[in-house]
A = this chain, B = another copy of it.
C-alpha cells in the first residue's frame, strides 16, 4: 500500500469541457481553463470515504458518498485498489452550474478520482483513472460517453474512437486555438437533450457528419484553420437541440460575423461555443454572443479560454469566489 508519497491533503481543480464540438457527437471534446470544480481530499482516522462539505451546489448534491458523482468515482477507484477501508474525507466545491453543457458532473467525477489517487500516493496514471471517472459520471448522467471525462482528465482535445472500450486519443492542439464559451442561465438536462435526438438518421447525414468529423480531425492535427472552419458543422444534434436554446441561430450568426471558425452547442447545451483563431477574435465572438442573449434578456456568463492542455491538476488553494 503506497504511503511514502502520501500527503495529508490535496486540492485539485477539474476544468469545464466542451463536448461534441459540432460534428463529434459523443466522440470529441476539449477542456477550457475555467470554470471548473475543486475537490479537497484528506486523510482521516475513521475508516471509509466521507463527504464533509459541499459548497456551490445550492444544496442539490447528496452527501451520501455512494450517490455523489465525485465519490462514486473515488469509491470505484478505491474498490479497484482494495482500499475501501482507508479513512478519507472529501470536500466538494462546485464552481460550475448544473445542466450547463460544460461537463459539470464529469468535472466532479474526474476531480474525485484524481484527488483520491493523488492522496494515496498516485498508484494510477491519469489514463488509468479514466474508467473510474467514467463510472462516476455515468452515475449522474446515465450514459457512458467519455467526451467530457476524457478531456477533463487528460486536457487538450480528446477523441474517443470507442466509448465502450474507452479507446481515446489526445490530438495535437493548434497553437492559437481559442474558444469563447457562453453559458445562458437556463438549464437543459442531458436526458432531455438526448431524447430530442432521433433513433435513426438518414445515411446521407451520417456521411456528411463523418466527412466533417474527419475534416475537423485533419484540420486540428495539421493546424489547418481553413479546414477546421469548413468542418465545424453538425447536421445531427444541432438542428434539433438548437430549439432548446433561445435565439441560437442569431447567436451563431453573431459569432461567425465576429470571425469565429465555427459555432455550435457545447455538449447537450445550453452553453454554446465559438472556436476561434486567436484570443482577440474569441473575445469579440464571446461579446457578440453575449449581446444576443442580453437582448432577450437572458443573463449569461462568458468564458474566453485557449484549449486547456493540462486537464485536472493539483492546485495550491481554492480561489475566492468573484
Taking Cβ atoms with an 8 Å cutoff, the residues of A that contact B are: 23-28, 159-163, 165, 167, 169, 171, 197-203, 205-215, 217-218, 221-222, 227, 230-231, 236
Closest B residue to A206 by beta carbon equals B206
Given contacts A197-B203, A200-B201, A221-B221, are A227 and B161 in contact (CB under 8 A)? Answer: yes
Q: Which residues of B contact A206 (CB under 8 A)?
A: 201, 205-206, 209-210, 236
Closest B residue to A218 by beta carbon equals B169
CA distance A28 to B231 in the complex (A): 16
Closest B residue to A170 by beta carbon equals B218
Cβ–Cβ contact B214 & A159, under 8 A: yes
CA distance A167 to B211 in the complex (A): 10
Given contacts A167-B230, A200-B201, are A213 and B215 in contact (CB under 8 A)? Answer: no
Closest B residue to A215 by beta carbon equals B161
Cβ–Cβ contact B25 & A218, under 8 A: no
CA distance A27 to B215 in the complex (A): 10
Cβ–Cβ contact A210 & B209, under 8 A: yes
Q: Which residues of B contact A222 (CB under 8 A)?
A: 221
Cβ–Cβ contact A214 & B161, under 8 A: yes
Distance to closest chain B CB from A9 (angstroms): 39
Tell me if A's interface is mostly helix, strand, loop or mixed. mixed
CA distance A206 to B236 in the complex (A): 10
Given contacts A201-B201, A215-B169, A230-B167, are A207 and B161 in contact (CB under 8 A)? Answer: no
Cβ–Cβ contact B203 & A198, under 8 A: yes
CA distance A231 to B165 in the complex (A): 12
Q: Which residues of B contact A231 (CB under 8 A)?
A: 161
CA distance A163 to B214 in the complex (A): 13
Distance to closest chain B CB from A11 (angstroms): 34
A-B contact pairs, 25 of them (CB 8 A): A26-B207, A160-B211, A161-B212, A161-B227, A161-B230, A162-B212, A162-B215, A167-B227, A169-B218, A171-B218, A197-B203, A199-B202, A199-B203, A200-B201, A200-B202, A201-B202, A201-B206, A203-B236, A206-B206, A206-B209, A209-B210, A210-B213, A218-B221, A221-B221, A221-B222
Cβ–Cβ contact B211 & A214, under 8 A: no
Cβ–Cβ contact B159 & A218, under 8 A: yes
Q: Which residues of B contact A210 (CB under 8 A)?
A: 23-25, 27, 206, 209-210, 213
Q: Which residues of B contact A217 (CB under 8 A)?
A: 214, 217-218
Q: Which residues of B contact A208 (CB under 8 A)?
A: 162
Q: Which residues of B contact A167 (CB under 8 A)?
A: 215, 227, 230
Given contacts A215-B161, A221-B221, are A169 and B227 in contact (CB under 8 A)? Answer: yes
Distance to closest chain B CB from A208 (angstroms): 8
Distance to closest chain B CB from A97 (angstroms): 27
Distance to closest chain B CB from A232 (angstroms): 11
Distance to closest chain B CB from A20 (angstroms): 11
Closest B residue to A198 by beta carbon equals B203
CA distance A188 to B269 in the complex (A): 45
